[in-house]
Structure 1
């Protein structure tokens, strides 16, 4: 008797040359749990500073409405941060790529976004490792479907080697399970984890997220980290950082979309406040909040059919982002025992005067460099 054919192999054979837009997805979480978490976060205490009710990072992109809003924002020419990131990535990646070209890496994309940057990485890695796997990971299944179109169709990457994973990678247990699954999938072959698009800056604790991800890195693995950066830290540059996000209506529509699609709150963009501040003397922190600017209490309906009262001045934190100084990046990588292998950096050039802002792409290896090595110092310098 012949061995039975596994359902995944049968499915792969069934989809070969099928022109229907099928997409496979490995679901790692109960979506009702995610909805309960979102609802609970919107019941936070009264706060005028954005420290009470909130939309935490992954929920900004969760669902078809926010996914479409994000796609629209990334295509807005007035969203200058996104435009600068897309323009600089190719140049930065060319500097980093020689360190991973011939390593036989598989690629794990954490927060797939639109997939434009993944397309570049996947195309180059696949050239040297035709058997590589591409594993995009995101909390939003809709974002995964959108984001994998570019690498798969744009770069001609074989669908049979793509495994989209729906998972919230800010949760330590989830990342641990992901690491165990990937180790079984690829064995001892190396993984390149990608955290691009300044995703690290969107979390309440950048250190906690980076520590969570570092725990699953094996000696042969690498982490590709892209962050927004600044070389000036003061109130003026903090205000400028906030204003970058205030210039485009499409971005405002995006940051309010999670509220629009998960509550019955009537959204008025005039209620948005873009707040910049210096954080811990080594980063610029931008908070985007909705604030009740009316003299009256507003009642907001939640997904579980309960209501929450928004008193005058109350806020809902919609989005958090940062620009990192070199000192902050050194502290983060040192605390996580990560050694920089390569570091590409460029400044924004879209204004008449020099800009303090830019983007950094850093390739990191797990473990600290030997005490006699000046590698990290040379790179940070």
Structure 2
């Protein structure tokens, strides 16, 4: 009696020559738990400052409506951070690439986005490692389906070497499970983890999330981190950071989409506020909030068919983002025991006046990398 052929092997052959838009997905979480979390967050306490009810990071992209809204926002030329990131990434990646194009790296993309940056990375890395795996990880299964199309089609990356994983990577237990699964799947081969698009800036605690990711890095692994940066930390810079996001209607549609699709609240852009502030003297933070400015209570229906009363001036935090100073990045990497291997920086060049804002791409290694060259480069990075 012959051994049965595993379903995954059969499925690979079954889909090999099928032109239907199939996509495989490894689901790591119970979606009812995620809905319960979102509902609980929307029952938060009263706050005029966006510190009570909230749409936590990840839920902004969760579901087909927010995914489409995000895709529309990324194509809006007035979304300056996205536009600058798309323009600078290829130049930045070319500087970083020599450190990871050899050695047989696989790619684990945390927060897949549109997949354009993954396409660039995969196109280069697969020339050196034809057997590499591409493992995009995102809380939103819809984002995974949309985001993997670009790398697979654009870089002609084989679907048989792609494993999309639905998982909230900001949760420590989830990252531990992901790390164990990757070790069984890949063995001792090195992995390039990527967190691009200033995704780190969207979480309530950037240090906690970076530490959660770092805990699964082995000595042979590397982390590619892309962040928005600032050389100024005053009130004017904070206001300018908020104005960047206020300029695009498509971005406003995106940040309100999770509220629109998960509640019965009528969305009026006159109730959306973009608030910039200096955070702990080493970063700029932008909080985008919905606020009840009607002077009357508003009843909001929740996904579990219960209701919550939004009193006058109560807020719902829709989105958080940041621009990091060099000092903040230095503190973060030190706290997470990460060593810079390479660094690329571009300032914003699309404004008439000099801008303190820019984008940074850092290649980081866990622990301390031996050798004087690594030490000297780290000193050079943090001295800029």
TM-score tier (shorter): over 0.9
* Counterpart-to-counterpart distance in 2, 1:370 and 1:71: 42
Deviations 1:155-208 (A, max 9, x none): 100000000000000100000000000010000000000000000000000000
**1:95-174 pair list within 5 angstroms:** 95-174=95-174
* Counterpart-to-counterpart distance in 2, 1:360 and 1:278: 19
Q: Report deviation, 1:379.
A: 2.5
Q: Report deviation, 1:154.
A: 1.1
**1:200-349 pair list within 5 angstroms:** 200-349=200-349
Unaligned runs of 5+ residues in structure 2 are none
User: For residue 16 of structure 2, what is the aligned residue in structure 1?
Assistant: 16
User: For residue 25 of structure 2, what is the aligned residue in structure 1?
Assistant: 25
* Counterpart-to-counterpart distance in 2, 1:314 and 1:111: 31
* Counterpart-to-counterpart distance in 2, 1:105 and 1:7: 27
1:375 aligns with 2:369: no
* Counterpart-to-counterpart distance in 1, 2:14 and 2:254: 37
**Kept in 2: contact 1:24–1:164 (CA 8 A):** yes
TM-score by length of 1: 0.99
Aligned residues: 381
Q: Report deviation, 1:354.
A: 1.4
Unaligned runs of 5+ residues in structure 1 are none
Q: Report deviation, 1:378.
A: 1.9
Residues 371 and 122 of structure 1, relative CA distance in 2, 3 Å threshold: closer
User: For residue 196 of structure 1, what is the aligned residue in structure 2?
Assistant: 196
1:4 aligns with 2:30: no
* Counterpart-to-counterpart distance in 1, 2:226 and 2:107: 15
Could you list the structure 1 runs, at least 4 aligned residues long, displaced by more than 6 angstroms after superposition: none
Q: Report deviation, 1:295.
A: 1.0
* Counterpart-to-counterpart distance in 1, 2:279 and 2:382: 21
**1:357-372 pair list within 5 angstroms:** 357-369=357-369
1:156 partner SS: coil
**Kept in 2: contact 1:243–1:274 (CA 8 A):** yes
1:149 partner SS: helix
2:368 partner SS: coil
1:349 partner SS: coil
User: For residue 46 of structure 2, what is the aligned residue in structure 1?
Assistant: 46
* Counterpart-to-counterpart distance in 2, 1:42 and 1:160: 40
Q: Report deviation, 1:371.
A: 9.7
Q: Report deviation, 1:369.
A: 4.3
1:39 partner SS: helix
* Counterpart-to-counterpart distance in 2, 1:231 and 1:371: 30
TM-score by length of 2: 0.98
* Counterpart-to-counterpart distance in 2, 1:229 and 1:143: 26
Deviations 1:21-53 (A, max 9, x none): 000000000000000000000000000000000
* Counterpart-to-counterpart distance in 2, 1:112 and 1:371: 33
